[in-house]
Amino acid sequence: MDTRNVIAAISLSAAVIILYSLYFAPPPITKENLAEKNKTEQNTDAPSLDQKENITEITREEALNQSKRIQFENQSIVGSISLKGAAIDDLTFKEYNVALESNEKVKLLSPRNTKDGYLIESGFITTDKNIDIPNSNSEWSVLGNNKLTNQSPVKLSWTNNQGITFVKEIALDDKFLFTIKQKVINSTIKEYDFYSYGQIIRKQIPDISNFYILHEGLLATLDDELIEEDYDDIQEEKFSRTSQKGWLGISDKFWITSLIPPKGKEFKTTFDYKDKFRANFVGTEPLVLKENSSIEDKLQVIVAAKRVDVIDGYAASLNIDKFDLAIDWGFLYFITKPLFYGIDYFFKLLGNYGLAIIAITICIRLAFFPLANFSFRSMAKMKALQPEMVRLKDLHKEDKMKLQQEMMALYKKEKVNPMSG
């Protein structure tokens, strides 16, 4: 019986490892791939997002009243976009409270000059030092509608003194998705290169659970590879990777703030810490802005509760590669995720998680019942043979070889497999 259990356990473990390596494990990194990746990252000429800032820390309420804002609201979130810097820096979840016994709603994003500053920026940058581009202190103007809802997008504009206008059109769906269309209009006879970017800034480490199987920190999937970086790791050393596809963000226990770069364009992702945590991407190929013309690009921002239906819904509808890994399913996610769906189904059916766990346990037992039944029958046969086996042992106790032969003959005659019970 013990031998059978050991063999069964080893076989099941081997099957899990083989299935993972065949269908779920990331492709191996060869020396050639690593050399090519390092060469690409070293040769990229995308400009840096570094900017000198002098910030005086104030309260959240003071910060929200300090600058002009565009309000946004749908059925899931409410907040505002600062016209200073055009940053999404004020977001509250309408359906989630900070505690079960509290009516206070969860406030995730906050302005940069607050203690818990947490915000999202986007735009264009350039390697040309002679071109003025909008930064965190630039005051944007509103063109037309001044409230963002899932029915009405908003448009922002900023023009420098060199005849170049930057425009952002921001749309919101009915849940957690912002779609930002960015445009640069050139009214001069000169030609410029611009690179689109998106950036998440977080001033300090939030309260984290420190649960070893749950990742809380900077997160990405880049070219099918899952990247998980803890806050303390980024404080020690920055992470940088050039990729063809993927997404990036910052993950909390219950919330995800994420950027989805423009599709079909190579980009460089960077996680670093310089008095604040930054998760950003910059396009590696410049968009050429010719005389009297315009360029545009689009990125998407998802600031959401980590609900499976929400995350999987966006992964499918927006075709975001491996966005379901925003939820930490663990090493054996190909097992844990189907189990979740089963428990969730029975919870919705029965209205109680205890009953749902009992129901999924019964289903698993039923699925393995034929194997278990075969094992029980084999055990019963082995038990019936015990007297004869004892007799053979006494009869051939001095001849181990003969005993083994008689035992095998007995098993064959009675059609019993000793390894199955």
- How many CB atoms neighbour CB 193 within 10 A? 17
Contacts of 189 (CB under 8 A, 6+ apart): 291, 292
CB 143 within 8 Å of CB 158: no
| 3-state SS, residue 59 | coil
Q: Which two tokens stand for residue 4?
A: 């059978």
Q: What is the pLDDT of residue 390?
A: 82
**217 backbone φψ class: left, alpha, beta (φ>0; ψ -120 to 50):** left
Residue 414 main-chain phi, psi, to 5 deg? -90, 0
Q: What is the pLDDT along the chain (421 residues), one digit of tens a residue?
A: 445 555 666 666 666 666 666 555 555 545 455 444 444 344 444 566 766 666 778 999 999 999 999 999 999 999 999 999 999 999 999 999 999 889 999 999 999 999 999 999 999 999 998 999 999 999 999 999 999 999 999 999 999 999 999 999 999 999 999 999 999 999 999 999 999 999 999 999 999 887 777 899 999 999 999 999 999 999 999 999 999 999 999 999 999 999 999 999 999 999 999 999 999 999 999 999 999 999 999 999 999 999 999 999 999 999 999 999 999 988 787 888 889 999 999 999 999 989 999 999 999 888 888 877 777 777 777 777 788 888 888 788 777 888 888 888 887 877 776 665 5
Q: What is the pLDDT of residue 26?
A: 53
Q: What is the pLDDT of residue 69?
A: 96
Element (H, E) at 69: strand 69-73
Alpha carbon distance 217, 233 (integer Å): 10
Q: Where are the beta strands (DSSP E) in 326-417?
A: none
- How many CB atoms neighbour CB 323 within 10 A? 23
Please list the alpha-helical segments (H only) found in 48-157: 60-66
**210 backbone φψ class: left, alpha, beta (φ>0; ψ -120 to 50):** left
Alpha carbon distance 416, 421 (integer Å): 9
Q: What is the pLDDT of residue 40?
A: 39
Q: Which CATH architecture has domain 46-329?
A: Distorted Sandwich (2.70)
**Rounded to two decimals, what is the model's pTM?**
0.79
